[in-house]
Amino acid sequence: MIQYLAQKSTIQHCFLMLCSVFVVIFLFYITPILSPEQRAYFAYHFADFLFLSLTLVFIVVRFYNAKRDGFEHLFWLLFGGAFIAWWLLTLIFLTLWMDLSKATQNLIGGISYFLFYALTIAAIELKSYRHANQLLSTHSSVIWLATLSFTLGAFIFLVIIPSTTTQGSVHSWPTTYLFYLLMDSYLMARWFFLAYSTRHAHSRGYFLLGLAMTNWLIADTIEAANYLTDFTLKSGGWIDWLWFTPYLLIGVALTQPFSNLQSVSINRDFSRFNLLNSPLTFIVLILVLYAITTQNKLFDGHLTNTHYSMFTGWLVLSCILAMGQIFLLIKQTAVLRFRLKESEFASSTFKQQLEQQAKKSNNSEIPIAPF
């Protein structure tokens, strides 16, 4: 009990520290302490580093306060690793960025964001399991391979290949923003799905993380419009809070308990398959991506023969994984039907035994007539 209260107190202290920082920044925006130019400079150079640092402190506390369960620790390692990748990018941006070549900047930026998205997806996927040995099952291998191939494939198709043919910063490429919007939307859907699936347990943390990703999706959409259209984004005003509020939502989420999706299911044969991690869904998304990049004039000149070759291999791999998943689902259905027949047979046999015992009991109770 004392240990629980100490852990809760530590989490509350972290949250109060985060809230204090937000209050101070809020005062900067409602008072003339800083000019709009100074606020814009802070938002562009220091805000992400500051908020990510606070978020990492929060995650470290949750990691050490987690139950003595390697599974729970692995979740916080993956979730924390995602933010560490982003935090390191902001640290390099503050210290060494101007000394790096444009190609190196694009490489570091692309890999950092890919790791953030990939590790976050891995942390979400981990919440669909009860025990570590389930991660090595055939069913789980298909899910992990499908999710990894989709995320890595999207990164290569939309970021890596354009970096070899397109000049300038990664933030000026429409394919890069398409990757951001795709991953933001996918993570938003996954967090909200976890919130819905754990609605009878602890779902508020997942719901708040879904709201944070929704916030980032809107922010990235506005940023893409700023780079790719005539829309002008003027930093230094209240628009900056569109990039600040996701960190506050994450901070509130980290004060909540997180349940495993499968731990709230009574059924031991609960399937970890769902539409959001199915290769069939990924095939649809791949085709949609291909249609967007080939039919939209915004992407003219960004696609090469390498794109078409990569797309073919990406689609073929996803189809193979989809067929594997369908086979496993058919096999799982057959096993469940066999178990159902066994249960019906056992129930029928037990019923017959009861009827026979009842008949014997009635026969033994019949009185013998006197001679």
The domain limits of the chain are 2-330
**Residue 342 pLDDT:** 74
With CA atoms as reference, report the closest residue to 320 among 276, 289, 282. 282
Could you read off the pLDDT tens digit of each residue along the chain, which spans 371 residues? 444 455 567 888 888 888 899 999 999 999 888 888 999 999 988 999 999 999 999 999 988 887 666 778 888 999 999 999 999 999 999 998 889 888 888 889 889 999 999 999 999 988 876 665 666 677 778 888 989 999 999 999 888 888 776 666 666 678 889 999 999 999 999 999 988 888 887 788 999 999 999 999 999 999 888 887 777 778 888 889 999 999 999 999 999 888 765 554 434 444 455 778 888 999 999 999 988 888 877 777 667 788 888 889 999 999 999 898 888 878 777 777 777 777 777 777 777 777 777 777 766 655 555 54
**Residue 201 pLDDT:** 77
Q: What pTM did the predictor assign?
A: 0.85
**Residue 188 pLDDT:** 96
